[in-house]
A and B are shown apart, each in its own frame.
Chain A
Amino acid sequence: MTLADLAAATVPASEAVLIDQGLAPDELEALLSGMRGRLAEMRDAIARGLVSDAKSRTGMVGWNAKTLWEAADDLQTPLLKRVQAYAMAVNEENARMGRIVAAPTAGSAGTVPGALIGVADHLGLADDALVRPLVLAAGIGEVISQTMFIAGSTGGCQAEIGSSAAMAAAAVTELLGGDAEASVHAAAMALMNTIGLVCDPVGGYVEVPCVSRNAFFAVHAVSSAQLALAGLRSVIPPDEVVQAMASVGRMLPPELRETGEGGIADTPTGRRIALELAR
């Protein structure tokens, strides 16, 4: 299935994803109950992450989600704060070796729950409404994975958090009633504006910039959904956007693909921290 096929569907995009899977009724029920289980695990990780300030193995992160969650909302944008806090809660749980749901990877695990569950809680929507959008998120990830391996070591962070943002953007769009075209274009716009994002974790740990990056790109996904729901579309067809990301991924030197030797990791302070942690 291509994103063009998906965008052309006359049913909601998640429905088109399910039809494409060609599942028997019992297989469908197993998939949906699997997704409900994933949602429950995501919620659990958010709940643990929002109240914990236990430091990660390295001590670089561990208190960000709780600190933000308990801070005054000076901007008076509760959705923004909620989405950021949820996303970081999941990734800080990840960094302290807690249980999370890879979506599509562990480093990017906060983006989809941050955006999807954050928006749902902001609007007071029940978890039942989130199952289909989560199926769509998975469907978008599956299509991307047919073009490139979804791993920072292969395609940089654009492949991980870019993919998760695209998945989340589509899911939020469908949750808010967007049709298949709107959902797929939300994904494409999110991806288009993530291209080039390098993987540069300090010391090789999935903490800095990864934890805050999930907060930023969960918000990015919500922005993309907002544009798509208003009727904005990607000028470049969604499948071509994915191709572009894959080709940028191939151009990235190894230093910018999870080796912890470029970008933010390769700053004087990043290198010093890495050295201290390697001791």
Chain B
Amino acid sequence: MSLLDVIGPVMVGPSSSHTAGACRLALLARHTLGTAPVEARFTLHGSFAKTARGHGTDLALVAGALGYAPDDSRIARAFDEAAHLGLDFGFDRADLGDVHPNSVRIDLSAVPGGAVPGGGVPGGTGALRTVRLLGSSLGGGLVKVFAVDDFRLEFSGASPTLLVRHRDTPGVLARVTRVIADDDVNVGTLYCARRRKGGEAMMSVECDRAISQAAADYLLHLSAIGWLRQIPAVMSAASDGAHIASATAEASR
């Protein structure tokens, strides 16, 4: 945990776990979708389900889906903004199982009525038709995504994350990590999940910085890889961290 995560983030109230964290999870879902959603459905679990309205969790989730960061003053009027921007949204409550008390399932759709999880993965880096993301708000505004389109993965939004849809084939992990290594990018975490042997698979790779366009192009050129997305860091303190990293890179040149 960075010191600027402890005294921070700078955020719109009232709750770092229920407002800022919720906003970040929805923002990560929007980044994964890759475009502005027209529909958003939020399924709230545990404490999120019980006190969503009280903590402005509802407003924060909608704000994140609209692409607003946790310190954006427009969060307080996110419902009005959504109406204005044509985002249809709704809330459900459900028991999502043995997960952190502040958890939410986020279904975003880029097309009306298209909320079928995992439906329609385009090639390259195109926008998805829908995305389903499960995540938890851990406190202090820190978050953890633990599933994307029902693939069990894990990333925090604290550093740039590479999401890759691939076919489960021998050597695919080695190839991806080699390309990242050749790009001189350090890997923080790597999670990989598949529907079945030899079937559709997905990985999340948290990197210390985003990989270059050339590296991304090369990855897409591999036959086992169908789609990838570079998700930017969504933590304000981590963007301070990114600032530090780029300053360090410049200083060492």
Write out, one digit per residue, whether chain B residues 48-79 have a CB within 8 A of any chain A CB (1) or not (0). Answer: 00110111100100000000000101011000
Q: Is A57 an interface residue (CB 8 A)?
A: yes
- Residue of B whose beta carbon sits closest to that of A144: B6
Query: Measured between alpha carbons, how far is A149 from B3 in the docked complex, in Å?
Result: 15
Write out, one digit per residue, whether chain A residues 124-159 have a CB within 8 A of any chain B CB (1) or not (0). Answer: 000000000011011101100100011111100000
Instruction: Kindly name the residue among B73, B140, B237 whose own CB sees the greatest number of chain A CB atoms within 10 A.
Output: B140
Q: CB within 8 Å of A: which of B120-134?
A: none
Cβ contact within 8 Å between A204 and B4: no
Task: Known A201-B54, A277-B54, A278-B53; judge A138-B4 contact (CB<8 A).
Answer: yes
Cβ contact within 8 Å between A204 and B16: no
Cβ contact within 8 Å between B15 and A206: yes
Q: Is A12 an interface residue (CB 8 A)?
A: no
Instruction: Kindly name the residue among A95, A100, A261 whose own CB sees the greatest number of chain B CB atoms within 10 A.
Output: A100
Query: Measured between alpha carbons, how far is A189 from B253 in the docked complex, in Å?
Result: 47
Query: Measured between alpha carbons, how far is A141 from B7 in the docked complex, in Å?
Result: 8
Task: Known A97-B76, A102-B20, A277-B54; judge A17-B3 contact (CB<8 A).
Answer: yes
- Residue of B whose beta carbon sits closest to that of A44: B10
Residues in B with CB closer than 8 Å to A179 are none
Cβ contact within 8 Å between B16 and A102: yes
Residues in B with CB closer than 8 Å to A139 are 3, 6
Q: Is B223 an interface residue (CB 8 A)?
A: no
Chain B nearest CB, measured from A114 CB (Å): 14
Q: Is A96 an interface residue (CB 8 A)?
A: yes
Chain B nearest CB, measured from A72 CB (Å): 30
Cβ contact within 8 Å between B47 and A102: no
Cβ contact within 8 Å between B139 and A98: no
Cβ contact within 8 Å between B55 and A38: no
Residues in B with CB closer than 8 Å to A35 are 3-4, 7
Residues in A with CB closer than 8 Å to B47 are 153, 257-259
Residues in B with CB closer than 8 Å to A244 are none
Cβ contact within 8 Å between A149 and B6: no
Query: Measured between alpha carbons, how far is A26 from B71 in the docked complex, in Å?
Result: 26
Query: Measured between alpha carbons, how far is A107 from B13 in the docked complex, in Å?
Result: 8
Q: CB within 8 Å of A: which of B13-29?
A: 13-17, 19-20
- Residue of B whose beta carbon sits closest to that of A25: B251
Q: Is B178 an interface residue (CB 8 A)?
A: no
Within the complex, which residue of B13, B16, B50, B140 is in contact with A96, where a contact is CB–CB below 8 Å? B13
Q: CB within 8 Å of B: which of A68-113?
A: 93-107, 109, 112
- Residue of A whose beta carbon sits closest to that of B49: A259
Chain B nearest CB, measured from A170 CB (Å): 12
Cβ contact within 8 Å between B8 and A259: no
Q: Is A232 an interface residue (CB 8 A)?
A: no
Residues in B with CB closer than 8 Å to A100 are 10-13
Chain A nearest CB, measured from B237 CB (Å): 8
Q: Is B214 an interface residue (CB 8 A)?
A: no
Cβ contact within 8 Å between B140 and A27: no
Within the complex, which residue of B9, B51, B71, B138 is in contact with A149, where a contact is CB–CB below 8 Å? B138
A-B contact pairs, 24 of them (CB 8 A): A34-B4, A34-B237, A41-B10, A96-B13, A96-B76, A97-B12, A97-B14, A98-B13, A99-B12, A100-B12, A102-B11, A102-B141, A105-B15, A105-B17, A137-B6, A139-B3, A145-B1, A149-B139, A151-B139, A152-B17, A204-B54, A258-B51, A259-B47, A277-B53
What 10 A-B pairs have minimum CB-CB distances, sorted nearest first?
Answer: A204-B51, A151-B139, A204-B54, A94-B13, A141-B6, A138-B3, A97-B76, A206-B14, A205-B54, A138-B6
Give chain A's interface residues, CB within 8 Å of chain B: 17, 21, 24, 26-27, 30-31, 34-35, 37-38, 41, 56-58, 93-107, 109, 112, 134-135, 137-139, 141-142, 145, 149-154, 167, 201, 203-207, 254, 257-261, 277-278
